[in-house]
Amino acid sequence: MTDVLKVEKLNRYYGEGDTQTHVLKDVSFNLKKGEFTALVGQSGSGKSTLLNLIGLLEQPSSGELYLTEQKISTLSEQQRTQLRNHALGFVFQFHHLLSAFTAIENVMMPLKIRGIAEKKLRPRAQALLAKVGLENYAERYPTQLSGGQQQRVAIVRALMTQPALVLADEPTGNLDTQTADSIFTLLRQINQEDGTAFLIVTHDTNLAARCDRQLILKDGVLL
């Protein structure tokens, strides 16, 4: 099977001189197409940093990344942005929905920005919202939704572009156990139906155990 992601000897330093910290140390791993993987490790072990590098939001100090078989270091800034928008979906602990827009408008936003007309996007956005049980909440604003509902909208938004890989940083971190469980089940379902690969940071050992695979970071080293 093809790799959706290849990480080779990735290093990330912050700061300079005496205050320099080595946050990621020669991290290497592959993710196959459709793989559902947990990324675990103590607070400060480098999980979010690794996700930011894979998400092309930050640059590594050294090492190489391949995303959908494209070598990242050879791409221009513009090509990187293009690849990020097309190949990746992001889900964070705090969903960052745009408060001035309704749920369905938030969901359509990534593709509207690409210049696709709203009427072409609506049916898929509506269908995805229905899939997460929010068919009757499409026209609500984020403040009119519960935390778990907002998180489901954010997940749908991340899936709207049909990414090859979804990066999720504690997607259930601020939710109660039951809601966290149903969100996790939803991610798993999407993974199995659409073959979308997931890399999910979680502190929840039960949820991590339900993944295909667990990657463990300890002080910046992948065990």
Ligand X SMILES: Nc1ncnc2c1ncn2[C@@H]1O[C@H](COP(=O)(O)OP(=O)(O)OP(=O)(O)O)[C@@H](O)[C@H]1O
Give the footprint of ligand X on this chain (CB under 6 A).
Answer: 14-15, 21, 23, 41, 43-49
β-bridge mates for residue 27, sequence order: 10
- Candidates 223, 211, 216; CA nearest to 34 is 211
For position 48 contacting Mg ion by CB under 5 A, the verdict is: yes
Beta strands at 197-201 and 36-40: parallel, antiparallel or unpaired: parallel
Amino acid identity, position 193:
E
Between 108 and 199, CB nearer to ligand X: 199
H-assigned helices in the chain: 47-54, 77-87, 103-113, 118-131, 147-159, 177-194, 205-209
Residue nearest to Mg ion (CB): 48
Please identify, using beta-carbon distances, which residue of 48 and 102 lies nearer to Mg ion. 48
Q: Which does 94 bind (CB under 5 to 8 A by kind): ligand X, Mg ion, none?
A: none
Rounded least distance, CB 13 to ligand X, Å: 9
Q: Which of the stretches 11-19, 48-56, 125-133, 213-221 binds Mg ion when contact is defined by CB under 5 A?
A: 48-56
C-beta atoms surrounding 133 within 10 Å = 12
Nearer to ligand X, 47 or 152 (CB): 47
Q: Which of 107, 217 has the CB closer to Mg ion?
A: 217
Q: Residue 18: how many CA atoms within 13 Å on its side-chain side?
A: 0
Shortest distance, position 114 Cβ to ligand X, whole Å: 29
The least CB distance from residue 41 to ligand X, in Å, is 6
